[in-house]
Structure 1
Amino acid sequence: MTQRPGRLSGKSAVITGAAFGIGRATAELFAREGARLTLTDIQGEPLLALADELRNAGVEVETVVGDVSVEEDARRMIGTATDRFGRLDVLVANAGIIPLGDVMEMTAAGWDQVMAVDGRGMFLTCKYAIEAMLPTGSGAIVCLSSISGLAGQKRQAAYGPAKFVATGLTKHLAVEWADRGIRVNAVAPGTIRTDAVKRIPEMPGGAKYLAEIEGMHPMGRLGEPAEVASAIVFLASDDASFITGAVLPVDGGYLAQ
């Protein structure tokens, strides 16, 4: 019996924020599904270590160490994929930071930092990805939004609004480029057991906050990065060929309440 080709077989994909958490799980699953990968992150050492692991497994991988909020870095991330693989088929706009704080705790500088990475960075990588996809008349972008990008939550005075940017950008880009063959969707994870979330108990009030959040998910647990990655692969693949502008919750029922 011949093995079925992967859902992303031969596709050129850029994944930002790939060194840890959802980005890393997505890179690993994309690799198993046959994608050719350009992985990016601001943290070089863990990014290069992941790339070496994947290359040893026979995956074609390029890396770019850079900051999505810096325009030249964002352009280089996309350009590296097109230079190496000749085209861009998929962008996973995942890079982001998750600070906790209410509006009294959050500083203007903190607000600007979140909006730079989670907002401007997503805008820039989407912009250059679309530019790269237009010549082929096809492509799929998956943005990382959040339950905080669809509903209000406490102590997310900057992160939540930044994820509303992700939700809005997804919908507007989907409408803008649908007739050019480019699909733009998002996933909206609940609280996922990423490295950043595992560190929340180290913050003031973090342990209590995380326990409360976990209890708010009807499934009674936090999600795993691999569970989000599975949804991303679906939206990036041809299985989702008539889906654009969707924001798919991966949240254990949180938003169903």
Structure 2
Amino acid sequence: MNRLEGKSAVVTGAAKGIGRATAELFAREGARLVVNDVDEAGLEDLEGRLSGEGAEVVSVVGDVSSVEDAKKIIGAAVESFGRVDVLVANAGVIPLNNIVDATPEDWDHVMAVDGRGMFLTCKFAVEAMLNQEDPGGSIICLSSISGMAGQAEQSTYGPAKFVATGITKHLAVEWAARGIRVNAVAPGTIATEAVRDLPEDYVAPMKEAHPIGRLGEPSEVANAILFLASDEASFVTGAILPVDGGYLAR
């Protein structure tokens, strides 16, 4: 449908999982892409495949928690395509631990990537969106059901996703009058590469926790992100959209 035809979009954490599915969908919808990850090999594979299918793609290897790298990621869209229309702030780590087993270093790591990294990429994207000839844009942050409800074994990851929820709401109010929409998706348990590698006896209870009775697919989250990125969501800002098979409705 070319819902992003000609738009410049940045997707962080694009080498695998939800980020990869989002980049693939955006390319099919006509976006010009900057894709980012710390996984250089995975990023090269994605860029090569999408470029081979005719998409305009620039890859930037970098750590979103680094000021220099975050600037470089957003700057690549401005340098390559002249503007930033969409940011998907997806990069993150997902540690599973309770507060007894978690270390201060665990906390610092997840907050650096999931918290500080989201802050930095949003900051530089907003700056770019304000300064371009036609100001405005759409930012989609990746929150989680763990950023909207309490869960066991989420003593570090869950609070980081509450950061994502908070950034979304505050930035949405702060920049709505300047044409910048900020929303988030809150996925349930998604069948990414990491989840598929877990033992079935660990995954089975996850499936049962979602009323639909299965895990979500990365493409299903990507579809929700596409809606929020597109002009179809022109009157939507500050929303946290669950993509969770009914988990939060219980």
After TM superposition, the score normalised by the length of structure 2 is: 0.97
1:83 is aligned, of 79, 84, 91, to 79
What is the alpha-carbon distance in structure 2 between the residues aligned to residue 14 and residue 200 of structure 1? Answer: 30
- Kindly indicate whether residue 66 of structure 2 is the aligned counterpart of residue 73 of structure 1: no
Shift of 1:210: 2.7
Q: Which residue number in structure 1 is paired with residue 238 of structure 2?
A: 245
Shift of 1:213: 1.8
What is the alpha-carbon distance in structure 1 between the residues aligned to residue 193 and residue 65 of structure 2? Answer: 21
Q: Which amino acid aligns with 1:70?
A: S
Aligned partners of 1:22 and 1:225 also within 8 Å: yes
Q: Which amino acid aligns with 1:216?
A: A
- Give ranges in structure 1 of 5+ residues lacking alignment: 202-206
What is the alpha-carbon distance in structure 2 between the residues aligned to residue 191 and residue 177 of structure 1? Answer: 31
1:12 is aligned, of 8, 15, 35, to 8
- Kindly indicate whether residue 219 of structure 2 is the aligned counterpart of residue 226 of structure 1: yes
1:176 is aligned, of 159, 174, 177, to 174
Q: Which amino acid aligns with 1:144?
A: L
Aligned partners of 1:191 and 1:251 also within 8 Å: yes
Shift of 1:197: 1.7
| DSSP 3-state at the match of 2:21 | helix
Q: How does 1:151-166 map to 2 (within 5 A)?
A: 151-166=149-164
Q: Which amino acid aligns with 1:133?
A: M
Shift of 1:196: 2.0
- Give ranges in structure 2 of 5+ residues lacking alignment: none
- Kindly indicate whether residue 19 of structure 2 is the aligned counterpart of residue 26 of structure 1: no
1:189 is aligned, of 169, 183, 187, to 187
Q: Which amino acid aligns with 2:148?
A: L
2:119 is aligned, of 117, 120, 123, to 123
Shift of 1:214: 1.4
Aligned residues: 248
What percentage of residue pairs aligned between the two structures are identical? 67
What is the alpha-carbon distance in structure 1 between the residues aligned to residue 209 and residue 57 of structure 2? Answer: 39
| DSSP 3-state at the match of 2:177 | helix
Shift of 1:198: 2.0
What is the alpha-carbon distance in structure 2 between the residues aligned to residue 188 and residue 122 of structure 1? Answer: 15
Evaluate the alpha carbon distance shift between residue 229 and residue 223 of structure 1 in structure 2; reply closer, same or farther with a 3 A threshold. same
Q: Which residue number in structure 2 is paired with residue 204 of structure 1?
A: none
2:145 is aligned, of 144, 147, 150, to 147
What is the alpha-carbon distance in structure 2 between the residues aligned to residue 81 and residue 90 of structure 1? Answer: 10
Q: Which amino acid aligns with 1:244?
A: T
Which string of whole-angstrom CA distances, capped at 9 and with x for unpartnered residues, describes residues 91-136 of structure 1? Answer: 0000001010111111110010000000000000000000000023
Q: Over the residues paired in the alignment, what is the CA RMSD in angstroms?
A: 0.9
Which string of whole-angstrom CA distances, capped at 9 and with x for unpartnered residues, describes residues 161-196 of structure 1? Answer: 000000000000000000000000000000000112
What is the alpha-carbon distance in structure 2 between the residues aligned to residue 80 and residue 254 of structure 1? Answer: 37
Which string of whole-angstrom CA distances, capped at 9 and with x for unpartnered residues, describes residues 30-49 of structure 1? Answer: 00000000000001011011
| DSSP 3-state at the match of 1:38 | strand
What is the alpha-carbon distance in structure 2 between the residues aligned to residue 65 and residue 154 of structure 1? Answer: 33
Which string of whole-angstrom CA distances, capped at 9 and with x for unpartnered residues, describes residues 182-239 of structure 1? Answer: 00000000000011222343xxxxx544322211100000000000000000000000
Moved over 6 A (4+): none
What is the alpha-carbon distance in structure 2 between the residues aligned to residue 125 and residue 170 of structure 1? Answer: 13
What is the alpha-carbon distance in structure 2 between the residues aligned to residue 238 and residue 157 of structure 1? Answer: 37
